[in-house]
């Protein structure tokens, strides 16, 4: 069972964007820090419980190979691999995250 957590460059960029949006556009530094720290915290828990997140299914019902775990209106989307967990993206629940993950759909 995977134990290591890896973060994609896209996930790191997503966290930066979320932080910047909340801190500068919403002028809420506290919320920015809470959301980013919360997303990191829930993804770190995947080292012990990698199947904790909800499976994401494609429109045709097929398993996408991704799971998502939430924190206060945001999702960390990840993929279980043989030796680790790859956290791929961080998105707001109001975003079309399936289109973000699978732009070809």
The pLDDT of residue 104 = 85
Tell me the average pLDDT of the chain: 95
Give the global pTM: 0.93
How far is it, in rounded angstroms, from Cα 87 to Cα 26?
Answer: 26
The pLDDT of residue 105 = 78
2 pLDDT tier (thresholds 50, 70, 90) = low
Q: Is 92 helix (H, G, I), strand (E, B) or coil?
A: strand
Q: Give the whole-number percent of the chain exceeding pLDDT 70.
A: 98
How far is it, in rounded angstroms, from Cα 20 to Cα 100?
Answer: 19
The pLDDT of residue 6 = 98
Q: How many CB atoms lie within 10 A of CB 62?
A: 8
pLDDT, one tens digit per residue, over 68-83 is: 999 999 999 999 999 9
**CB–CB of 7/16 below 8 Å?**
no
Domains and CATH numbers, the chain: 4-101 (3.30.2310.20)
Going by their DSSP bridges, the two strands 84-92 and 4-7 should be labelled as parallel
């Amino acid at each position: 069972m995977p134990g290591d957590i890896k973060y994609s460059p896209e996930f790191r960029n997503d966290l930066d964007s979320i932080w910047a949006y909340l801190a500068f556009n919403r002028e809420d530094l506290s919320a920015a820090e809470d959301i980013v720290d919360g997303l990191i915290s829930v993804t770190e828990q995947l080292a012990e419980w990698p199947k904790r997140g909800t499976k994401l299914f494609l429109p045709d019902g097929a398993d996408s190979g991704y799971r998502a775990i939430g924190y206060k209106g945001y999702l960390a989307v990840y993929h279980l691999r043989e030796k680790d967990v790859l956290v791929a993206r961080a998105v707001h629940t109001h975003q079309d995250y399936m289109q973000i993950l699978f732009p070809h759909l």
